[in-house]
Amino acid sequence: MAKDNSKMVDSITAMDEDFTKWYTDVCKKAELISYTSVKGCMVIRPYGYAIWENIQKILDGMFKETGHENINMPMFIPESLLQKEKDHVEGFAPECAWVTYGGSEKLEERLCVRPTSETLFCEHFKDIVHSYRDLPKLYNQWVSVVRWEKTTRPFLRSREFLWQEGHTLHATAQEAIEETERMLNVYADFCQNDLAIPVVKGMKTDSDKFAGAERTYCIEALMHDGKALQAGTSHYFGNGFAKAFDIQYSDRNNKLVYPHQTSWGMTTRLIGAIIMTHGDDNGLVLPPAVAPIQAMIVPIAQHKEGVLDRAYALKDELKSVCRIGIDDSDNSPGWKFAEYEMKGVPVRIELGPRDIENNQCVVVTRHNREKTVVKLDEIAKVMPGKLQEVRDSLYNSALENRERRTYTCKTLDEITNALEENGDGFVKAMWCGDEECEDKVKEITGAGSRCIPFEQEEISDKCICCGKPAKKMLYWGKAY
Amino acid sequence: MAKDNSKMVDSITAMDEDFTKWYTDVCKKAELISYTSVKGCMVIRPYGYAIWENIQKILDGMFKETGHENINMPMFIPESLLQKEKDHVEGFAPECAWVTYGGSEKLEERLCVRPTSETLFCEHFKDIVHSYRDLPKLYNQWVSVVRWEKTTRPFLRSREFLWQEGHTLHATAQEAIEETERMLNVYADFCQNDLAIPVVKGMKTDSDKFAGAERTYCIEALMHDGKALQAGTSHYFGNGFAKAFDIQYSDRNNKLVYPHQTSWGMTTRLIGAIIMTHGDDNGLVLPPAVAPIQAMIVPIAQHKEGVLDRAYALKDELKSVCRIGIDDSDNSPGWKFAEYEMKGVPVRIELGPRDIENNQCVVVTRHNREKTVVKLDEIAKVMPGKLQEVRDSLYNSALENRERRTYTCKTLDEITNALEENGDGFVKAMWCGDEECEDKVKEITGAGSRCIPFEQEEISDKCICCGKPAKKMLYWGKAY
């Protein structure tokens, strides 16, 4: 933790001035990432990676509780394998990175670095699934994937990113659909409970489905600047892949039938969502569940006798109730305050000679800078509630931001006006179901369709675009 | 766990008949791996991956305890970056997989899929290390790497494999050397305590060093068939990479100097080592520390009243002391015994109506099939000791095998004779330090140099090959 004391924490661009620059500043100044000479790829630095490890740990536990097993597939996909499912290859081939040489020898067949692994899982399923007794298969893997994007941004869109991909195979369509919905709910619960990010659950329109899927479910979140971010998706494939890969099993009547399939994924993009949902002009604000350090002790006048000893003892007392840190470096308290605000540590505990005299410490919550004086013999008892309070407060602010920025519209003009007058946000509006109208709304207003929410409202009975009978209410918005 | 009852567990090739085929049989029948259409790459199936997760969890804890942080680097290395350190690129370029296209566009510069990440870490270190206050940097990452091998075998040598790579940067050579040795000791402790595999600690000869290293330390294990396996390596780079990448820091006297560097790695190869050290003709034998299931309850006559209920209760009682499983499928007990022997589950607990009447169960240890009758109200207390006993017994057998197969030789003929008469094994013999003699010993006897062990013995004062004064005792052997 030793830092050059002369170097104060650099300030960052203000959010309102330039949100994009603010975002990049936070990524760098909070030491989440570092750029590399590999265009579109980044180093996820220890502080950023520790957030990802916490995300992994919680999600992995939720996957295992719902009966999933981890597995590991190769990172390469032979071109011929990728081509087996027509829609799938059309969707992914344009953004594949291709390996053409092994050492000095040209490969007989090109291999793509996996952009996603449905094809590899299908090949494996064909190998191991023969009878109804072999089903379901509930698999997940934690790996990185590559998509050759033109424009990239840390966490939000990078050529390589870390993710988990669940792949499951089921005897019936109904079971597969239930799985798709179950995992969407797991994602939504995780976002709301652990990341304190409210999400809208829904289904993508046909034009926005995953390549090869029959249905794509998604959760959509609204960032601080009013742009939408897709936080997780869950796909139902029907038996399309099974047919393309000739996966069959003999059912209870000894008849050969095709199984039904799903996949679902969440990525390091979630870290981007955290930054843009909770961050402020002082930097990152982390939800306690995934914060590498949940509370940081900053000793005041630490050269004075007894201060550091009491601070170390406090750390020991707190280590069983939270992830606790202490900064005993020779930097000034002011420097430390700014540093851990930048890094979004949810709680700061100040402890100086006078506090010790009064058997107390000062607890400061990062997101609202509220100070509370807490008795030292109560702090261990108080801390879990304090962290829960932080989570609730973050969630409520984010929800309040979303509600303030959600506009119910009946005409295209209303959309344009709402976005212009109140800034970007979610638009709720009716839709007839035609792709043409979907495209036109985006063209005219800038807001694309985000999802068909499970919670439908009948705003009007007409499509906002063509005026024909409306089939669904959609969420629309500009997206990351 | 439901299986087709008609399909009994297939038997595997006997070890003595064909060790190589036995090994592959175990990999497949214990459901550790599955082949894919990507040559030289494999699926690590859930049971195999769960072993790797346990290995990761223990090692990751040991790395964090010794002050290391996890980080994540890109999987691609631009060709020009790989070329910056001369020895390094010479060693790795011939086995790199090269990405030449992104989508339909040819890349301006080829990218190799990382075979190892020293170059990427150096680029990052140059970015973030400026002052002595920034040192040491103690980093690790858990990723997969690719090396374009001609001949491949599951876990032992595959084109893609999973590993961890530690990369550290230090102010002084001494600190870096201490780190290199510290991590070798961490590796050795892990192998011996957790995997129950005895290892020889030593240093590679110059001809066998990692490309770019000043020193390569290693741990060498002897497999059941007498072949040697390198289980982990730890490299000291001096400041060679720092110079090649122009990494400098200002020291306490404000002078610009080059830092010193290390790297160290362990891979999924460890799973191969476990199979070949402990396995037998009935399949896999797992050391308890990394076994996905440490004890499996097999109910006997489970259709009889009360048997399954008592078995479930037993599972509940044991779940806080070990990773406990239960097979309540309708397969026969005999099928289950064979299945969990194949999968190497360390302990089987049989529980039938008569056992329940007598308030007891039958505990069978996988590696020696020893049966013990244990009172049901004592089993939870007994289990940790039982697992420790298994570990100790596995370790002692492996050590006994190694000692029986370690030959002390003073002439080349003695080596040839020992290997022919007693089978492959470690040879201890003196060496003058010349690469020529090293090559000649291998050429004549088939046994290559494995390492210069830290524990030296003076077997004679002459080189076993040229007869000139000996400098070191070496371990020699045929290797995986």
Instruction: Return the residue in A7, A31, A75 with the most chain B beta carbons within 10 A, the one to mutate for interface testing.
Output: A75
ipTM of the prediction = 0.95
Residue A215 has pLDDT above 50, yes or no: yes
Give the nearest partner residue to B124 out of A34, A73, A101, using CB atoms. A34
The sign of the torsion formed by the CA atoms of A134, A139, A145, A149 equals positive
B positions 129-148 inside 8 Å of A (CB): 131, 133, 139, 143-144, 146, 148
The whole-number pLDDT of residue B9 equals 58
Task: Please give the residue of chain A at the shortest CA–CA distance from B160.
Answer: A74
pLDDT of B142 above 70? yes
Taking an 8 Å cut-off on Cβ atoms, the answer to whether B97 and A99 are in contact is: yes
- Is the pLDDT at B433 greater than 90? The verdict is yes
Residue B5 predicted with pLDDT over 60: no
pLDDT-based confidence at residue B56 (cuts at 50, 70, 90): very high
CA torsion through residues A123, A126, A127, A132, sign: positive
Give the mean pLDDT of B247-270: 98
Which B residues in the span 27-56 are in contact with A, Cβ-Cβ below 8 Å?
Answer: 34, 36-38, 41-46, 49-50, 52-53
Confidence at A1, pLDDT banded by 50, 70, 90 = very low
| DSSP β-bridge partners for residue B163 | B143, B267
Nearest-by-CA chain A residue for B68 = A46
* Three-point CA angle B408, B412, B416, nearest 5°: 80
Q: Is the pLDDT of residue B172 over 70?
A: yes
CA distances from A44 to A90, A100, B71, B82 (A): 31, 28, 6, 20
Give B-chain residues touching A73 at CB under 8 angstroms.
36, 43
Give, for B472, the enclosing helix (H) or strand (E).
strand B472-477
Q: For residue B434, with 0-12 CB atoms within 10 Å meaning exposed, 13-18 middle and 19 or more buried, which class applies?
A: middle
Confidence of residue B2 (pLDDT cuts 50, 70, 90): very low
> Given CB atoms, is B77 within the 8 Å cutoff of chain A?
yes
On the question of pLDDT at A206 being above 90, the answer is: yes
**B50–A70: do the CB atoms touch at under 8 Å?**
yes
pLDDT in tens, A240-267: 999 999 999 999 999 999 999 999 999 9
Q: Is pLDDT above 80 for B7?
A: no
A4, pLDDT greater than 50: no
| DSSP per residue, A51-88 | HHHHHHHHHHHHHHHTT-EE-B--SEEEHHHHTTSHHH
> Which residues of A fall within a CB distance of 8 Å from B38?
74, 76-78, 111
Look at residue B11 in the predicted model and tell me its pLDDT. 84
Residue A327 has what DSSP assignment? -
A-chain CB neighbours of B46 within 8 Å are 69-71, 139
Q: Is 80 exceeded by the pLDDT of residue A5?
A: no
Average pLDDT over residues B359-372: 98
CB contact under 8 A, B148 and A53: no
> What is the structure's pLDDT at A8?
52
Mean pLDDT of A168-181: 98
In chain B, what percentage of residues exceed pLDDT 90? 96
pLDDT digits (tens, 9 = 90+) for B96-113: 999 999 999 999 999 999
Each residue's pLDDT tens digit, B314-344: 999 999 999 999 999 999 999 999 999 999 9
Instruction: Give B274-306 pLDDT, tens digit per residue.
Output: 999 999 999 999 999 999 999 999 999 999 999
Task: Give burial (CB, 10 Å; 0-12/13-18/19+) of A443.
Answer: exposed
pLDDT tens digits along A370-392 = 999 999 999 999 999 999 999 99
Average pLDDT over residues B378-382: 97
**Interface membership of B83 toward A (CB under 8 Å):** no
Render pLDDT for A65-123 as a digit per residue (tens, 0 to 9): 999 999 999 999 999 999 999 898 999 999 999 999 999 999 999 999 999 999 999 99
pLDDT classification of B128: cutoffs 50, 70, 90: very high
- Is A37 in Cβ contact with B81 (below 8 Å)? yes
Residue A61 pLDDT > 80, yes or no? yes
> Which of B16-55 are b and which e, b meaning 16 or more Cβ less than 10 Å from the residue's Cβ?
eeebeebbbbbbbbbbbbbbbebbbbbbbbbbbbbbbbbb
Cβ of A103 and B148 within 8 Å? yes
The mean pLDDT of A431-451, rounded to a whole number, is: 97
- Counting beta carbons within 10 angstroms of the beta carbon of residue B248, is it exposed (0 to 12), middle (13 to 18) or buried (19 or more)? middle
Q: Per-residue pLDDT for B373 more than 80?
A: yes
Judge whether residue A230 has pLDDT over 70: yes
What is the pTM for the complete model shown? 0.96
CB A376 within 8 A of CB A360: yes
**Residue pLDDT, tens place only, A259-316:** 999 999 999 999 999 999 999 999 999 999 999 999 999 999 999 999 999 999 999 9
The pLDDT value given to residue A11: 84
Q: Does A379 touch chain B (CB under 8 A)?
A: no
Write out chain B residues lying below 8 Å of A70, CB-based: 46, 49-50, 53
Q: Tens digit of pLDDT for each residue in A304-352?
A: 999 999 999 999 999 999 999 999 999 999 999 999 999 999 999 999 9
Mean pLDDT of chain B: 96
* Contact: B74, A128; criterion CB under 8 Å: no
Q: How far is CA A45 from CA A33, A34, A194, B72, in A?
A: 5, 7, 22, 7
